[in-house]
Structure 1
Amino acid sequence: MSKSTSVYTRIEPEIKAEAEGILNELGIPMSQAIHMFLRQVVLHKGLPFDVKLPENKLLEYGTLSTDDLQRELEKGLLDLKEGRVNSASKVAERMAKEYGRDI
């Protein structure tokens, strides 16, 4: 089937640049990624992913019960045991990128 129509959209420059960087690493042109997305919408008869608010929320030490704190500590230890960790420099880099400041 030949491609005979265009889609125009306005995107925040930062989002576009970040997505292009990722897609370039994957070797997928932006137009092909959009085509893939729309194909999945048709196949799923809706969005090909859940649309919902994230359940993650910032934890504040003073608001946690003893049991909640214990669960959070256990999750952290499990992450450490299973290798789901980041170096301090990587965390600082991410904080600077996402929040515009160094720690």
Structure 2
Amino acid sequence: MSTTKKKPIHISVDKDLKEQAEMLFNDLGLNMTSAITVFLKQAVKEQAIPFEIRKINSETLQAIKDVEDGNLQGGFSSVKELMEDLNA
């Protein structure tokens, strides 16, 4: 039996997020405490967040918005034309 003292962590999250996470963790055979403990142990082991976090730049955000809005400019008729545009 471990003699490590445990300290509670209190967090607030969106109700739907909590319910979805609980369902996922249950399917994985974990409870919320176990899942968070796994996350914390992995973060300490790696000395980093154990998954990639990145910020999308404004050009990428605009491109995504353009695609979603159907604002696509005409395509290219050849690879040469595409390359000339990319190099411009």
Compute the TM-score of the two structures, normalised by the length of structure 1. 0.55
Task: Verify: 1:19 aligned to 2:21, yes or no.
Answer: yes
CA distance in 1, matches of 2:25, 2:50: 18
Runs of 4+ in 1 over 3 A off after TM superposition: 53-56
Residue in structure 2 matching 1:34, options 29, 36, 39: 36
Q: CA RMSD, aligned part only?
A: 2.2
1:48 equivalent in structure 2: 50
Q: Which runs of 5+ in 1 are unaligned?
A: 69-103
Structure 1 residue 38 displacement after superposition = 0.2
Counting only pairs closer than 5 Å after superposition, residues 1-103 of structure 1 correspond to structure 2 as 1=2, 2-53=4-55, 57-58=64-65, 59=67, 60-61=69-70, 63-67=71-75
What is the identity percentage for the equivalent residue pairs of Structure 1 and Structure 2? 25
CA distance in 2, matches of 1:31, 1:53: 28
Structure 1 residue 15 displacement after superposition = 0.8
Q: Which runs of 5+ in 2 are unaligned?
A: 77-88
Give a deviation string over 1:52-78, Cα, whole Å, max 9, x none.
2355724122x212228xxxxxxxxxx
Compute the TM-score of the two structures, normalised by the length of structure 2. 0.63
Larger Rg: 2
Q: 1:3 to 1:29 in 2, by over 3 A?
A: farther
